[in-house]
Amino acid sequence: MAAPNLVNTSSVYGKSVGSSLGVTTAGIVTCATNKVLKINSVIVANVDGTSTADVKVDFYDSSKTTEYALAHEITVPVDSTLVVLGKDSPIYLEESDEIRGWASAAGDLEIIVSYEELDDA
């Protein structure tokens, strides 16, 4: 199914999702059928009080079955945040595309993805 025509968008819903990152790559947000997601920001926080941790955040293009790095093994210092993607440089997800994440140490990093769900129904 094709992505909605943005000119004919009938609804826009602001949403955010958060997750603790594990040591295996996991989907954080996936675009549903007949929707487009405008990813406004991706923020990673190191919640461990003593250790740094590395983060990997990818855009998964389902039409090509390929991952593309947004952040590749970037060290997030203790008790700090990393803005992987900001509102000044949004990306769009089409059906079945995903934002995926991974951490070098389970439970040390948390991720928040803020996005808009667009629909022309």
pLDDT band with cut points at 50, 70 and 90 for residue 8: confident
How many domains are contained in the chain? Answer: 1
Q: Does any domain span residue 7?
A: no
Q: Are 84 and 58 in contact (CB under 8 A)?
A: no
Is 80 contained in some domain?
yes
What number is the average pLDDT over the span 42-63?
Answer: 97
84 located within any domain: yes
Per-residue confidence (pLDDT) for residue 4, from 0 to 100: 67
Q: Give the angle 107-91-48 at the CA atoms, nearest 5°.
A: 15
pLDDT digits (tens, 9 = 90+) for 89-117: 999 999 999 999 999 999 999 999 999 99
Question: pLDDT tens, 55-80?
Answer: 999 999 999 999 999 999 999 999 99
- Domain, as residue range, for 25: 16-115
pLDDT over 90 percentage in the chain: 85
Amino acid letter, residue 90: P
Residue 4 lies in a domain: no
Residue 2 counted as domain residue: no
- Output the domain CATH number for residue 45: 2.60.120
- Measured distance CA(41)–CA(72) in Å, rounded: 17
In a domain? residue 120:
no
User: What are phi and psi for residue 34, nearest 5 degrees?
Assistant: 65, 25
The Cα 15–Cα 86 span in angstroms is 15
Give the chain's mean pLDDT. Answer: 94
Regarding pTM above 0.85, the answer is yes
Task: Confirm whether 38 is domain-assigned.
Answer: yes
Q: Which two tokens stand for residue 45?
A: 């926080």
d(CA 51, CA 37): 34
Query: Is 39 inside any structural domain?
Result: yes
